Amino acid sequence: MDIFCEIKGRAGRITLNRPKALNALTYDMCLAIEKALDDWREDDAVEIVVIDAAGDKAFCAGGDIQEMYDTGIAGNFDYGRRFWTDEYRMNAKIAEYPKPIVAFLQGFVMGGGVGIGGHASHRIVCETSQVAMPETGIGLVPDVGGTLLLARAPGMIGEYLGLTAARMDAGDAIHAGFADSFVPREYWLDLIVDLEETADVTVIEKVKGPAPESKLIALRTTIDTCFAGGLAHIVSALEGDGSEFAASALKAIGRNSPLAMAVTLVNIARARAADDIRAVLGFEYEYTYRSMEHGDFLEGIRAAIVDKDRNPKWKHPLDALPDEAVETMTAPLGVDALKI
């Protein structure tokens, strides 16, 4: 079983169970999470939902994208579009759920993992947590509602995280708004039992520890200065900064899809204005819907996952990205717009 959904005590329990695959989210797992949430919404026996994952390495390292690649490379874009539609609907239901949802986010929490855990009402991280939105590295944009979290991060931290795919430890994740509480891993099993027995989220406070200091705080001035503006401005500002941090950020930006990064900036700005997860998922879908046919997604997967040559041939160079390409990928979809 890739996922367990059951009632324990007063809690609805969801456990991702693909530890060898870093609990990557399959299409069936996505549907199972949604069904459980729907079943428990009006069930008085379920007062709280607790989401965790098997293994130590990852809560969920992202979506299982092999099937998307296989169908997309064959010219069938419908599977990916259906997956994204159903996944985004599930993400919205987590964010809007009327009962508390507590997510335990150990190890890698990336992409689709943020879509599950990042929208929970109570998000717990520990010593091993590594949270990121790494989509631009595979020619996609931050999605699963992650753009909304990026938009709500302090200053220009969202732009920095979205463009560089930088990983946040527990302290950074809490500072950036991707997590709420630091609880040492050794207390998790007992805490989950307490939540199952009491359905009382205040028990988290009893084992909550001081969050590790965020490294992003010290970088805030540089991030806010360098990541305000369009993609060309960001590159120029980082080149002019000359710091070790700027050099590292430039190296990351140089690896990622220019088209995806430019659209990410547009989407974060739109998310700040909308501040509504369903609207933001709609923005994200404008890109993901087109990503196989007109974007860099299939090439990004080829380079990172299939051939593993780490040498993607992006559609546009970083220094010559036409505005029309960005406009095409962010245009309204009309009758094909996201319906969730």
Asked if 122 and 103 touch (Cβ cutoff 8 Å), the reply is yes
C-alpha pair distances (Å), 282 with each of 173, 192, 288, 314, 337? 25, 34, 10, 24, 7
For 254-305, the three-class secondary structure string (H helix, E strand, C coil) is: HHCCHHHHHHHHHHHHHHHHHCCHHHHHHHHHHHHHHCCCCCCHHHHHHHHH
Which one of the listed residues 9, 12, 63, 113 is annotated catalytic? 63
**Buried (b) or exposed (e) across 59-93, using 16+ Cβ within 10 A?**
bbbbbbbeebbebbeeeebebbbebbbebbbbbbb
Which one of the listed residues 34, 52, 143, 180 is annotated catalytic? 143
Which one of the listed residues 34, 64, 135, 172 is annotated catalytic? 135
Asked if 60 and 84 touch (Cβ cutoff 8 Å), the reply is no
135 is catalytic: yes
By C-alpha distance, which of 190, 182, 51 is closest to 126?
182
Q: Please report which residue ranges of the chain form alpha helices under DSSP H.
A: 27-41, 66-73, 78-95, 112-117, 146-152, 157-164, 170-176, 188-198, 204-207, 215-226, 231-241, 244-255, 258-274, 277-290, 297-301, 323-329
172 is catalytic: no
299 is catalytic: no
Asked if 80 and 293 touch (Cβ cutoff 8 Å), the reply is no
Which one of the listed residues 72, 80, 111, 112 is annotated catalytic? 112
Q: Sort residue 177 into left (φ over 0), alpha (ψ -120 to 50) or beta.
A: left
295 is catalytic: no
List residues with catalytic annotation.
63, 112, 135, 143
